[in-house]
């Protein structure tokens, strides 16, 4: 029983430490777009296919993360969310560069990256069109 309590304690401590660290997933960090919304919010539902396309088309150039703040309310508080959806742009260094509240079209997201100085290569799928 003590072993189980020790393991659980270590697991919880590791989780708390991880929550305090910036969101980086590799040794070569990428810029990151975090979309905070909810699975049942209409504008958030409209964002889902856009986020999926960006994830596929720009893999290796920037990361896309969706956080459901109705399921994870603490994340909404952590990021100071006032409305959903909210998109937060982070540089490769983990620093916040910009925010947008509400629906955000694909072309506008890509324009924002360009405005922020993040050079993106055109995905192969766009060259076919």
Give yes or no: 58 in active site: no
Active-site residue identified among 34, 36, 44, 51 = 44
pLDDT of residue 104: 97
pTM for this model (two decimals): 0.76
Task: Say yes or no: domain 24-120 is CATH 3.90.76.10.
Answer: no
Instruction: Please give the span between the terminal C-alpha atoms of the chain, in angstroms, as a whole number.
Output: 61
CA distances from 111 to 42, 72, 108, 119, 129 (A): 23, 29, 5, 10, 19
Distance CA 76, CA 38 (A): 11
Q: What is the pLDDT of residues 68-116, one digit of tens each?
A: 999 999 999 999 999 999 999 999 999 999 999 999 999 999 999 999 9
Contact present, 63 and 80 (Cβ < 8 Å):
no
Give yes or no: 41 in active site: yes
Distance CA 34, CA 102 (A): 13
The percent of residues in the chain predicted with pLDDT above 70, rounded, is 76
pLDDT averaged over every residue in the chain: 83
pLDDT of residue 4: 35
Active-site residue identified among 24, 29, 41, 78 = 41
Q: Kindly state the DSSP code that residue 84 receives in the 8-state scheme.
A: S
């Amino acid at each position: 029983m003590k072993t189980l309590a020790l393991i659980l304690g270590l697991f919880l401590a590791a989780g708390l430490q991880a929550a305090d660290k910036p969101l980086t997933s590799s040794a070569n960090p990428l810029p990151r777009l975090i979309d905070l919304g909810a699975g049942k919010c209409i504008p958030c539902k409209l964002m889902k296919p856009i986020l999926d396309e960006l994830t596929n088309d720009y893999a290796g150039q920037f990361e896309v993360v969706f956080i459901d703040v109705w399921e994870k309310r603490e994340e909404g508080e952590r990021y100071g969310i006032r409305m959903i959806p909210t998109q937060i742009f982070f540089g490769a260094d983990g620093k916040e560069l910009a925010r947008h509240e509400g629906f955000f079209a694909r072309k506008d997201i890509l324009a924002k990256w360009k405005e922020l100085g993040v050079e993106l290569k055109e995905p192969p799928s766009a060259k076919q069109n």
